[in-house]
Copies of this chain bind each other. A is one copy, B any other.
Amino acid sequence: MNKYAKARAHTNIALIKYWGKRDERLKLPTTNSLSLTLNQFYTDTSVQFDERLVSDQVCFNGKILDQAAARRITNFLDVVRTQTGMQTKARVQTTNNVPTAAGLASSASGFAALAAAASRASGMRLNHRELSRLARRGSGSATRSIDGGFVEWHRGIGDRTSFATPVAPKDYWDLNVLAILIDEQPKKISSSKGMQLSQATSPYYAEWEKLCKQDLKKIKIAIKTKDFEQLGRIAEENAMRMHALTLSASPDFSYFAADSLKAMRLVQQLRANGIPCYFTMDAGPNVKVLVEPENRASVLSTLQAAFGNDKVVVAAPGPGVQYLK
């Protein structure tokens, strides 16, 4: 058995958001969600199971993590060990090409890459659905980073049926996502904590669940017909209705920073000026702008003028998980 494997996974941006779990331990979501895997942000992770180790060793961006910091990764390796009946500890090396914890879903690419590398290193041979289920145990959004392009995560009826499947491959539709990196960090509430609070306390949560069902149907038609304005509108409104859940939680909270407001207003202005572009936002201050290639240059220059050239990253649909040497 080859006990070493290395994998690359890209992050994804949810167009129909995942915002609530019906099972915390298994990370089963309350609703289906839909995302686009991006080419610009990825994680490379290698896993080496080694009989000589007495505990897992995790090296993150060149730095050895202490036990507490490595807990989530160790817990994930325990899932793999339980599934394979193995007890061997592992050496994990992971390099993130994503601004960590900035709402660019580094845990999506992180746990997708870890799931791929750890399962292969342990001798499991998983297909994409199985890998997606496994990645889910690390982080909900990682479920959607096994495949490229447009991906739907099915809530399923239980652990075995909650995985993601491709809706349209990476090259299906030539789109861009301009990610605006916003420095200011409002008080950090993890997405996990944020969705928990929203679900437990927002009076609007039940409506959110219904809404996602409708939005999902509509956005799949928009993808099928390549109707960009419909796609953008649904994604923007779905995102804002997710953020409305944070505002309406008890206590109320928000992921908006001053520059998030500025970015959203700019996009709405561009649109008022006849340029179709739409924003979305996750559990962090960054704003991501959907645009078609023919309008990319003009939207990009407006955003760069407002935020600085190095603060806007141009992304496009990205591939699914890849195994590296």
Contacts and interface: CB of A to CB of B under 8 A. Distances in A.
Quick one: which of A208, A244, A262 has the most chain B CB within 10 A? A244
A244 B247 CA distance: 6
Contact of A248 (B187, B244, B258, B264): B244
A243 interface: yes
The 5 closest A-B pairs by CB, nearest first: A258-B258, A244-B244, A240-B252, A204-B204, A244-B248
Most buried by B among A206, A210, A237, A257: A237
A66 interface: no
A252 B22 CA distance: 28
> Copy number in this complex?
2
Name the residue among A203, A208, A262 with the largest chain B CB count within 10 angstroms: A203
A252 B236 contact: yes
Given A243-B247, A261-B258, A210 B204 contact: no
Interface in A247-273: 247-248, 250-252, 254, 256-259, 261-262, 264-265, 268
A187 B258 CA distance: 15
Contacts of A131: none
Contacts of A251: 237, 268
A241 interface: yes
A15 to B, nearest CB: 15
A207 interface: yes
Contacts of A14: none
A203 B247 contact: no
Contacts of A312: none
A237 B253 CA distance: 10
A187 to B, nearest CB: 7
Contacts of A233: 250
Given A237-B250, A254-B261, 13 more contacts: A186-B261, A186-B265, A203-B208, A204-B204, A204-B241, A204-B244, A206-B207, A237-B248, A237-B251, A240-B248, A241-B247, A247-B247, A258-B259
